Chains A and B, each alone.
Chain A
Amino acid sequence: MSAAPDHTPTFARLSLADRLSLSAPYLLVPALVAIGFLVIGAPSSWLTLTVSGLAMGMMIFIMASGLTLVFGLMDIINFGHGAFISLGAFMGVSVLFWLSSWTGAPSLVLNVAAVLLAILAAMVFTGAIGWAFERVIVRPVYGSHLKQILITVGGLIVLEQAIHVVWGAEEIYLNRPEALRGSITFGNSALERYRILAVVIGLAIFVAMRLVLRRTKIGLIVRAGVQNGEMVEALGYRLKLVFIGVFIAGSALAGLGGVMWALYEQVITAGMGESMMILIFIVVIIGGLGSIEGAFIGAILVGLLQNYVAFLEPKVALISNIGLMTAILLWRPQGMMPVVKAK
């Protein structure tokens, strides 16, 4: 729709140092993988751990992506996000139980169809819950962080209790469908099929989100809104509507993450989402509020570190991620790729 510039811009060309500093966050991933290789020693364990780290990272990214945009767009802190993860998991697992004749059949098509239906049901359900949550819980507390924290934690508790009421207070165990069980061997390492699938789904979601954010007008509005919501309104767009859409999409993605996490752990509890929130907040913060790319890299770093350290020294796995956050914030106080202006 536009002509290329007459001549190549020279003024804005970046120096090598600038480019290094821009791509530095991306370089952290291979750096961490290389360090893992050196420290772990055994290549087969390293490969297995790397794949599970990536799988975990992708799932955390899917759960965190909506939260970071909601943070960035409206400056809303939503602790209730964890409940959408749990609700998605319970809804998805219910559908899988209901379709047990499909999931138990030795048919790839039926297995995949059951999982896709479970995901669809979970996303529609958590999207709808997210829509209601925004109207009832979040909308009255725009602009006040303290009230947001209090009331969204309240919402989290209510939704978790609702899960107890509907699905019972016990944890629920499940088996993955036939086709998603087992591993493939690669050299000496056994790579679980499901983890590889999780990596593929995570990458696909990331690519799709980037395309929407970069190539569509609604994506432009979201990115602009994260930086300067007032100006987006002053150009005639109803940012609130866009925000509600993002909130619903983010809740649906949390539901997707919940189903994926349920299939990964093969057990679900009402508190599963809440217990993920620590890692999710770490990812949102180190990625830089409002940044999808930052959350993506942050989630991969967190997933990898968690798996490497759990193998080497299980007791310090969570501490290691808090250490990672501290180190990154010392390096970049706004996170790796901040897009939100400091308010």
Chain B
Amino acid sequence: MSEPILALDGVVTDIGQYHILKGVSFEVPRGQVTMLLGRNGVGKTTTLRTIMGLWPARAGRILLDGEDIARAPVSNRAGQGVGFVPEDMGIFSDLTVEENMILAARSGPLDGARRDWLFAAFPPLRTFWRSEAGNLSGGQKQMLSIARAMAEERRLYLIDEPTKGLAPAIVSTMVGALRELKAQGASILMVEQNFSVARALGDRVVVMDDGVVVWTGTMAELAADTARQERLMGLSVEAH
């Protein structure tokens, strides 16, 4: 197999005086969806934010296509093609949906075909194109946040809990859109608490606990082994 799009090697992150990531190492293969799973508070969001540069890594390497970006400024990482959907969605609520998308397409105007594709995947974005993003519902904001990451082709997508707090109908819209993204060969690292969503989209799995990676494998392996799911994540397919 080719070189992974992203590799973390012994990444250590402190927040204030707390040691949150205690040497995280894993790989994200190119053109696949890697699910980052684990109980609440184990450091999944911190891992994504560290990759993006929003928390500084105190030690370790973060290799994007083999190049260490662990000390690069946030904007450079974005400029190198890392798209980010934060846990809190990070919507600019005083800006319109259109203005949010204009900012997301950094290298030039949003191209028409891509916009039509996003409109098809997320119809409310078309409806509320000229409205202030702050007036959108939670699900619509989540769609906008993901659409922003998709406004340009990215080398790697970091997506934090895209289905958090969403009604089932909207979850399936979301899964549909992410499936399309996956079908285009995108490389994705995604945190997802809803195991059925994780199973529907994931190729590979990285499980964290207390600031370190405790298991990696394929989604098929994990899905087939409920005992392992319970042990690693305190969840079972039945319960979710």
Instruction: Give chain A's interface residues, CB within 8 Å of chain B.
Output: 1-7, 9, 11-12, 217, 220-221, 223-224, 227-228, 230-239, 339
By a CB distance below 8 angstroms, the chain B residues around A227 are: 92-95
Instruction: Give chain B's interface residues, CB within 8 Å of chain A.
Output: 52-54, 73-75, 78-79, 84, 86, 90-95, 98-100, 102-104, 106, 109-110, 115, 126-132, 135-137, 148
CB pair B103 A2 closer than 8 Å: no
By a CB distance below 8 angstroms, the chain B residues around A221 are: 103
By a CB distance below 8 angstroms, the chain B residues around A224 are: 92, 95, 99-100, 103
Beyond A7-B127, A9-B131, is A236–B75 a contact (Cβ under 8 Å)?
yes
CB pair A234 B52 closer than 8 Å: yes
Nearest residue in B to A8 (C-beta to C-beta)? B127
Complex Cα–Cα for A12 and B130 (A) = 10
The 3 closest A-B pairs by CB, nearest first: A236-B78, A231-B90, A233-B74
CB pair B102 A220 closer than 8 Å: yes
By a CB distance below 8 angstroms, the chain A residues around B91 are: 228
Task: Tell me how far the C-beta of A147 lies from the nearest C-beta in chain B, rounded to whole angstroms.
Answer: 17
By a CB distance below 8 angstroms, the chain A residues around B106 are: 235-237
Beyond A5-B126, A12-B131, A238-B73, is A233–B95 a contact (Cβ under 8 Å)?
no
By a CB distance below 8 angstroms, the chain A residues around B74 are: 230, 233-234
Complex Cα–Cα for A237 and B76 (A) = 8
Task: Tell me how far the C-beta of A40 lies from the nearest C-beta in chain B, rounded to whole angstroms.
Answer: 37
Please pick, from B54, B94, B127, the residue contacting A11 in the complex, using a CB distance under 8 A.
B127
Complex Cα–Cα for A1 and B110 (A) = 9
By a CB distance below 8 angstroms, the chain B residues around A5 are: 126-130
19 CB-based A-B contacts, threshold 8 Å: A2-B129, A3-B129, A4-B130, A5-B127, A5-B129, A7-B127, A12-B136, A224-B99, A224-B100, A227-B92, A230-B54, A233-B53, A233-B54, A233-B74, A234-B84, A234-B86, A235-B104, A236-B106, A237-B106
Complex Cα–Cα for A222 and B160 (A) = 25
By a CB distance below 8 angstroms, the chain B residues around A238 are: 73, 75
CB pair A233 B130 closer than 8 Å: no
By a CB distance below 8 angstroms, the chain B residues around A232 are: 103
By a CB distance below 8 angstroms, the chain A residues around B73 are: 233, 238
CB pair B98 A2 closer than 8 Å: yes
Nearest residue in B to A10 (C-beta to C-beta)? B127
